[in-house]
Amino acid sequence: MDIESIINNIAILPQQSLEELIAITETVKFPKGYLISQAGKTEHFTYFISMGLVRAFQYKDGDEVTFWFGKEGDTVLSMRSYIEDKPSYENIESLEELTAYKLNNSDLRKLYEKDIHIANWGRKLAERELLRTEENFISRQFKTATERYEELIKTHPHLLQRVQLGYIASYLGITQVSLSRIRASI
């Protein structure tokens, strides 16, 4: 996915604002298994996935707990670092070779101050991330594992071919054995 499409999927910008935002992006590549962001460290960049897949996870009792997957067109950022410039809560790892567009958060903040269209675009970006987080939280609190798996099949079927089952089970908050039972019953 190209950067112009990714930006305009968040909010359409006037051409001049779009060009200013694109001018501060850099294309980067990461190998599979690369930690793009680490919990406890302040992340100074926001990434937009052109090609590839990532996951966000934390450690709990020595186990990795996956709570988010990002695919082409998605934004990869630590909201805590982005908003407060403080250490992130999560680890973000590439699950495939990754090509992304990288924005320096301080350069982005300068554009927010200079251009109201980009500032509004940034608000839309934050709103979109907040809604994604809220949907994930509500799903984990009020849906059964089977309902969450069915929702995953419906909304993100590509993940089933691209992500190992252990990560999917972790994302659903269940064991691989339970995931196998759910998959067999559907």
What is the mean predicted confidence (pLDDT) over 84-91?
A: 95
Q: Over 90: is that where the pLDDT of 50 sits?
A: yes
CA gap 172, 148 in Å, rounded:
7
What is the mean predicted confidence (pLDDT) over 20-44?
A: 97
**Alpha carbons within 13 A on the beta-carbon side of 110:** 8
Q: What is the DSSP string of 37-58?
A: E-TTS---EEEEEEE--EEEEE
At 140 the pLDDT is: 84
pTM value? Answer: 0.92
The tokens for 38 are 């680490």
Structural domains for the chain? 3-142 (2.60.120.10)
SS3 assignment, position 167? helix
pLDDT band at 23 (very low <50, low <70, confident <90, very high): very high
Q: Over 90: is that where the pLDDT of 89 sits?
A: yes
At 139 the pLDDT is: 87
Burial class of residue 37, CB neighbours in 10 A (0-12, 13-18, 19+): buried
Picking from 87, 99, 76, the residue whose alpha carbon sits closest to that of residue 29 is 99
Is residue 125 a contact partner of residue 10, using CB atoms and an 8 Å limit?
yes
CA gap 170, 25 in Å, rounded:
33
Q: Over 90: is that where the pLDDT of 136 sits?
A: no
The tokens for 180 are 């196998």
Q: Over 90: is that where the pLDDT of 25 sits?
A: yes
pLDDT (tens digit, 9 = 90+) per residue, 149-184?
999 999 999 899 999 999 999 999 999 999 999 999
State the average pLDDT for the chain. 95
Q: Give the lowest-confidence range in 62-66, 137-141, 151-155.
A: 137-141
At 18 the pLDDT is: 98
Is residue 164 a contact partner of residue 176, using CB atoms and an 8 Å limit?
no
Work out the percent of the chain whose per-residue pLDDT is above 90.
Answer: 94
What is the mean predicted confidence (pLDDT) over 49-58?
A: 97
